Amino acid sequence: MKFSILTSVLAAFSLAQVAHALPTKRDITDPQVLNYALTLEHLEAKFYADGLAKFSEADFTKAGYPEWTYGRVTQIAAHEATHVTFLTTALQTAGAKAVEACEYNFPITDVKSFVSLAGTLEAIGSAGESISIVLFDFHSPVSSAYTGGAQDISSKDYLTAAASILAVEARHAAWISAAAEHGSPWDTAFQTPLSPNPVYSLAAPFIVSCPAANSAALPSLTAYPALAFADAHARAGTTATLTFASNSKASFVAFVSGAGTPVFVPLQSGNRVAIPGSLRGLVFVFVTSDGGRVDDSTTIAGPALLNVAFDSRGNVV
């Protein structure tokens, strides 16, 4: 099945409406995009493998989950392993270097913390796959050669594959949020795409170290300074305190959700911020120096994740 219509729609919305989410420079090759996606898949695959090695079906049942939960998680784990194999094979077939798995540290203490973190990682993965699609479509056809004389990768073919993986990752996130955690299965009408650095910033805390050769196969990645809510239960429509490394240029807080323009709110004294009451679902929060742009040049810290749970009537719960 061809994704020409999907590609056109994504290009129309993503490139016109979410320019804030794209990197300032787009000199990224196909192998780098594939390896960027593979880096996220390695992380997810290892997370599920570790969790299933640590917790049995009986452990899930004791934690209060329905008997079918363990089986679904096992299926997700198999999907992530398949994604790793597919992307690795695609790169190697084209003669390009495929990044290897890193050493990770996942703060898993029990089954519930495992399921909760699974939801977070799936959200990160979905955001990463979204921008992978945009990057594929934006710079196609390939304009530069790969290290080691790799053959050209057909961007449109792999754009289709990336869209297919994104669809499955989004289903994973929806199932975990709705079926496993009894929350909302979606956020807004559009998946939130993030540029590589914000996604890397979210993934970096789980990465202990990576093979040295990985960096040469990836686009240049930088983790932003960490950002968090002092109150873990920060809610839409309330005022909350943010924690991040002091920076005199910090002036605004940007709330990024879906494919629309970010919502900017002035940063108050004491790093307090009034969270907009209109927010719903998973929101990516940045501290910025600019009240109109969120990019590598304006980001001071972030992103932090704000999950605004809402019911079937759209009301915050």
pLDDT digits (tens, 9 = 90+) for 225-250: 999 999 878 889 999 999 999 999 99
- What count of other Cβ atoms lies within 10 Å of the Cβ of residue 56? 12
Residues 207 and 247 in one domain: no
Q: Could you tell me if residue 217 is inside a domain?
A: no
Q: Which of 165, 182, 212 is the last residue of a domain?
A: 212
| Containing structural domain, residue 246 | 228-308
Q: What is the mean pLDDT of the chain?
A: 83
pLDDT, one tens digit per residue, over 37-50 is 899 999 999 999 99
What was the pLDDT predicted at 147? 31
Q: Residue 205 pLDDT > 70, yes or no? A: yes
Q: What is the token pair recorded at 52? A: 């299933």
Instruction: Report yes or no on 123 lying in a domain.
Output: yes
Could you tell me how far CA 297 lies from the centroid of its own chain?
A: 20
Check whether residue 43 and residue 184 sit in a common domain. Answer: yes
| Shared-domain flag, residues 115 and 244 | no
Same-domain status, 260 and 112: no
Instruction: Using the predicted structure, report yes or no on whether residue 28 has a pLDDT greater than 80.
Output: no
Contact 100/211 with Cβ under 8 angstroms? yes
**The amino acid at 251:** S
Q: What is the pLDDT of residue 186?
A: 85
Q: Strands 103-104, 263-266: parallel, antiparallel or unpaired by DSSP?
A: unpaired
**Predicted confidence band at 134 (pLDDT cuts at 50, 70, 90)?**
low
CATH number at residue 293: 2.60.40
Judge whether 221 lies within some domain: no
64: left (phi over 0), alpha (psi -120 to 50) or beta: left
313 occurs within a structural domain = no
Indicate if 103 and 249 belong to the same structural domain: no
Do 87 and 127 lie in one domain? The reply is yes
Kindly state whether residues 280 and 159 are assigned to the same domain.
Answer: no
Within a domain: residue 219?
Answer: no
Specify the CATH number for the domain of residue 159. Answer: 1.20.1260.10
Co-location of 207 and 233 in the same domain? no
Q: Where does a domain end: 177, 212, 247?
A: 212
pLDDT at residue number 128? 65
Amino acid at 126: S
Domain check: are 199 and 62 in the same one?
A: yes
Specify whether 193 is located in the same domain as 247.
no
Count of helices and strands (H, E) across the chain: 9, 9
Nearest to 31 by CA among 180, 132, 118: 132
State pLDDT tens for residues 59-75. 999 999 999 999 999 99
What is the predicted pLDDT for the residue at 13? 33
Q: Which amino acid, residue 42? A: H
| The pair of three-digit structure tokens given for residue 39, joined into one six-digit string | 């880096």
- Looking at the domain assignment, is residue 234 inside a domain? yes
Residue holding tokens 């540029």?
A: 195
Which residue did the predictor score with more confidence, 192 or 84?
Answer: 84
Mean pLDDT of 202-218: 94
Question: Distance (Å, rounded) from C-alpha 39 to C-alpha 183?
Answer: 28
**Shared-domain flag, residues 146 and 31:** yes
- Which pLDDT score, from 0 to 100, does residue 314 have? 86
Tell me whether residue 218 is in a domain: no
Q: How many domains does the chain have?
A: 2
Q: Which residue has the higher pLDDT, 309 or 111?
A: 111
Residue with tokens 């079918």: 68
Which of the listed residues 165, 188, 212 is the one where a domain comes to its end?
212
Question: Are 286 and 301 contacting, i.e. CB atoms less than 8 angstroms apart?
Answer: yes
Determine, yes or no, domain membership for 296: yes
Is the distance from CB of 251 to CB of 266 less than 8 angstroms? yes
- Identify which has the larger pLDDT, 74 or 16: 74
Confidence band for 132, pLDDT divided at 50, 70 and 90: low
Q: Is 93 helix (H, G, I), strand (E, B) or coil?
A: helix
Question: Are residues 53 and 164 located together in one domain of the fold?
Answer: yes
Q: Give residue 32's pLDDT.
A: 87
